[in-house]
Copies of this chain bind each other. A is one copy, B any other.
Amino acid sequence: MSVFLPLLEYKVSVPLDVTAPWNVSLSQPQYQLVFYSLVVAGLALFAQFVKTWVSAGEVSSRYRPALYASMCICGVAFLSYVFLALKFDSGYQLSGGQYVPTAESVNSYLPRYMDWSVTVPLLMVEALAVSTLTGGRARQTRLVAMSAAFLMIFTGYLGAGVIGNGTSSSAMLLWGIISTVFFALLYVVLLGVLRASHEGMSPVAYLGYRNAVFLLLLVWVWYPIAYGIHNWTSGGTATTIIQVGFCAADIAAKAGFGAMIHKVAKVRTADDMN
């Protein structure tokens, strides 16, 4: 914990060259579109949360941890979106036809990293719980994947919101690169798990599993891209694209991925009975 403390204290000597996405004014259409995305994502995640809660009993106890993880992911993200939407509502003030950010607007953006810090490790639990890995290998892979997931998000957060307060281009670059190392590691791990699961699953189960993991890995590409946009440009359009994109990606990676894994778990439950 104390290794980055010097970093917290160091005086930013490079010129502040990044305008944070939460510090730009939005036009009325942009504001409406972002608010729309935040609320729709929140409601979709609420629906998936409740649905997973009541339907977890549909799969055998062996795969239920996947559903529990999915339920927690959607519940946590729902809470996070409630907060984001309320802060987006109260964090901008209409003035001269523009929505001008206030001191609260930061909380319509950065709390995403707090949600991800919990949900991305849980996504790893969910993805692994329906794989064919068992025993020590499953435990070890899970530990590596959860740690890498957390570190990916946490180091990204240091660049996006902590070091230089999200306005230092060099800090964003440095921590973005570190984060990307863990990002790459996760791809390696998940593709390895997928490969290892080919043998032990029925073709139908494997197909569903492969599609789910591919969707996840595809959607993930958006997150570092949005981070790059944060670092390299700014303005109402950029903020709108980032925010709407995050909402769409979160729906796909949480509710969509959750529905696909649910199906895999059901297929494997049926397979195990024969």
Contacts and interface: CB of A to CB of B under 8 A. Distances in A.
Interface of A: 1-2, 5, 7-9, 27-30, 32-33, 36, 39-40, 43-44, 46-48, 50-51, 53-56, 58, 61, 64, 68-69, 71-73, 75-76, 79-80, 89, 94, 103, 107, 110-111, 113-115, 117-118, 122, 157, 161-165, 237, 240-241, 244-245, 248
Does more than half of chain A's interface fall in helix, strand or loop, or is it mixed? helix
B157 A36 contact: yes
A71 B43 contact: no
Contact of A50 (B61, B75, B117): B75
B50 A71 contact: yes
Contact of A163 (B29, B51, B76): B29
Contacts of A103: 94
Contact of A29 (B2, B8, B72, B122): B8
Given A28-B165, A48-B72, A51-B72, 11 more contacts: A1-B241, A1-B245, A29-B162, A29-B165, A32-B110, A36-B161, A43-B115, A43-B117, A53-B54, A54-B68, A55-B68
Contacts of A71: 50-51, 54
Contacts of A50: 53, 71-72, 75
Interface centre among A55, A80, A94, A115 (most CB of B within 10 A): A55
Contacts of A40: 114, 117-118
